[in-house]
Each structure stands twice: as C-alpha cells, then as structure tokens.
Chain A
C-alpha cells in the first residue's frame, strides 16, 4: 500500500493519452457513423455497396490487426509513418464508426414513414426532411447504443499500448509491473477503477444528452418514464 502514491502518479501520467485517444476516437466515430450511416441509406446501389464494404471490413476484422496495418504496414506501403497516438485514434474511429454506421442507419429507419410523408406534404426537400424532421427523431433512438459503443471504444483504447502509446494500460505494464512487481493486484485494481470512472463520465454525459434530446421531443426520458410506470403499477 505504501506504493499507492507512486502508482497513482505513474498511471496519472498515462491518463491524458487515454483520454485524448478516447475523445479523438469518439469524434471520428461520430463523423464516420453519421457519414456511413446516411450513405447506407443512399438511393444509389454503388454508394451503398462501397459503404457496406467499409462497414463489414472493419467489423469483421481484428482491431489489433487493423492497428498493426496502419502503424506497421502502411509506412512500408506509402512510406509515411503516423504518430502512434494518431494511428491509434484512426483505428479506434474507423472500427467503431463501422458499428456506429449501423446504429445510425437503424435509428433513421425506425422513424415512422408517416413522418416522411408529413414532411413531403409540406414540400420539404429531401435534405430538409432528413435534417429537420428525421434525424432529430432518430437521434433519441441512437443515443443509448452510441453510449455503449463509446464505452467499448474507451476500453479498446488500451490496445494503443501495443504501438508504444504511453496510455494507462501501458504505464501499468511497462513502468509499474517491472518496478513494483509485488503490487500486481493493487496496480491492476487501480487500472480497473480508472476505466470504470472514465466509463461513468461517458455515461453521465450521454444521459444528459439523452434527456436533452427527449425533452426536445416533448418526451420524458425513457428510464424515468419506466420507473414511474412501475411505481404506478
């Protein structure tokens, strides 16, 4: 236990890398999820087909292997070596964006046809229908699964240890274990708690956005509504 302050300090040094990789990965995930999610609904077959290749390609292969490709193989092919953190963010975003695309597509498809038809009856253009009517309603449906996805992305950020990014997991394995080998339990106990806390932060932010989005639809948040119904019963 007397080593706890040192352990916390070394893991703390890795915290910014973990947070930056996660945030960067989430931003890229959001961009790719919406981009690819909308393209999956394109009226043009070719566009859907190409997007499908991206989605299935990244969902169907190992994240670690993707990381090795971008970090080790790409430099050999194109002669340009990405900074480890950037390579890591790219893989986290590309991989989780492929899952997110399906979430976005599914949520858009779940908006009732009647809403499209109401928008057509007002002569809104296809882009206006999507942006003003469909997406705001679909957003409420996509937030809970996106929350899950972002937490998975946070946990996946530990693979960046494999390409020398000094994030929390690498700090534990490469710095702490060799020096405080007797405290293995304590070290990984703390690592455990760090990820748990970061996940809690993500969930808290996502819940806040969920409540905001539900209010915009004049709905009470789902969870609260369920609880109230149970109380009523």
Chain B
C-alpha cells in the first residue's frame, strides 16, 4: 500500500514579525485524519502556525499546502506567486478554526452563526443549513439554545457553538488554538469531552494547541514540542510525555505539571 498524500505540508516556512523571526525553516507534514498537538512555551510560535494555515498571516519564506494544493502560494504559469484572496478562499474552505475567545458573531443568533457559512459560502439552501445546524447543536448538546444570542451563553456553551460552527463547514482540517484557556475550570471538561468524541467519530485532521496535557495525551497521535520557532521533539504522546528526549521538553513538561 502506498503512503497517503499528506494533508498538511510545511516546507521550509519562515515567518517574521519585523525583525523577530518567529518560525525558522519549519518543515513538517500531517497525514489525513491524524491528530497532532503542538506544545511549547508561550511565544514559541504555536498560534502563528495555526494562523498561517488559516491564512490569517502570510509566510515570508517557504510554502504551505493543504490537501495537495498550495495554500500560501498559487501556481501561475509554472511559477509560484503569493496566493490572492480568491484562490486563498477556495483552499481555505477545507480548513476550520476554533479560537481561544470563540469569535462568535454577536449580531447573529446561534442559528445565524451556524448557517452563515453553509448558506453563503457552500451554497446550501436554508433548509439544508438549518438541518445541519440542528444536528450539530444536538451533537454539542445545545439544541435548546438555537435561538439564543451568543451573549446569553456561558463561555463553555459559546465554545461548543464555535466548534459546531466550524464543523458546519465540513472541514478536512480543524485548527484548535487553546480552545479551553478562556473557560472557567468547571466548563473545560465538557468541551474536551466533545473534542475527544469528534476525534473518535470523524476523520477530520486535527492540529491543536493546548496546555491540557491529559487531553493532549489521549487525543493526539503525535505531539510536537516547539521552542524558539523550531520543532525540538516530535513523537507519539506515550513517548513524549513519559520519556522525553530533550532537556527542554522535560523542563517544559515539569513546569506545566507544577502549574
């Protein structure tokens, strides 16, 4: 059997903010359906990686592709040029992102948030989109909130709606950036349980940044430890959490556990 095409490819990516080089010559691949967790100290560039994939930032060097298509660039007559808005939007449709602060639209109800993308971007009819919204709300356990405003929901509920909103686009890749960091402690477990459930029941490729090491351990197929814009360790969670190779990984895990 041949090795499947990778879902995500970073090839020699460099990202700078002014003179601050955040990612150095970063290369890695993620297979379809794989769950990869990024860990590392604050400021190590984890969020930047997800934002590059969501096209919220532009690469300075190197290329990123998703599902076999360039994301950061487009092929124009044999030469690679930076992707324009229209091209980016096409590739972007395969990618969903859930943010630390939820980023729900306060000018729409829960239903409005869930059907906006499917009707306007995917071209679903209102009925189809409503059915999809109802199914997803049932999945995240918020069927009774369909006509509520985001402001009327708890943080945990808002985050579950945000997850449902991302899923409504049927993404191949889902990016999760510290999705439980803004939640009160008693609400974290519900959101993590939902994500575990999604991990088991869907074939979505997950790229996830989290400080919840217990979750990272049983959700991920692979964990990448970042420091100073480089991957310093890339291993299965059993390996990385129990017998980390690098001193830096050890001290980071120690610090997180003590916290």
Contact = CB atoms under 8 A, between A and B. Distances in A.
Contacts of B152: 218
Contact of B117 (A115, A124, A137): A124
B103 A123 contact: no
B29 to A, nearest CB: 22
Given A217-B151, A218-B152, A219-B151, A123 B93 contact: yes
Given A126-B85, A132-B120, A218-B151, A118 B103 contact: yes
Contacts, number: 67
A225 to B, nearest CB: 12
Interface string B74-115: 000000000001000100110111010101111100000000
B117 A216 contact: no
B56 A118 contact: no
Contacts of A114: 99, 101, 103
A129 B92 CA distance: 15
A105 B76 CA distance: 36
Given A114-B103, A115-B103, A136-B107, A121 B54 contact: yes
Given A114-B103, A218-B106, A120 B121 contact: no
B240 interface: no
A125 interface: yes
Interface in B157-186: 165-166, 169
A114 to B, nearest CB: 5
B105 A124 contact: no
B89 A125 contact: yes
Interface in A80-127: 114-115, 117-126
B150 interface: yes
Interface residues on A, range: 20 to 34
B99 A117 contact: yes
A218 B106 CA distance: 7
Contact of A122 (B101, B121, B151): B121
Given A121-B97, A121-B166, A122-B165, A216 B107 contact: yes
A217 B120 contact: no
A118 B104 contact: yes
A207 to B, nearest CB: 19
Given A114-B101, A115-B105, A123 B151 contact: no
A218 B104 CA distance: 12
A124 B119 CA distance: 10
A75 B130 CA distance: 59
Nearest 5 interchain pairs by C-beta: A218-B149, A118-B103, A122-B117, A136-B107, A218-B151
Interface of A: 114-115, 117-126, 128, 132-133, 136-137, 216-219
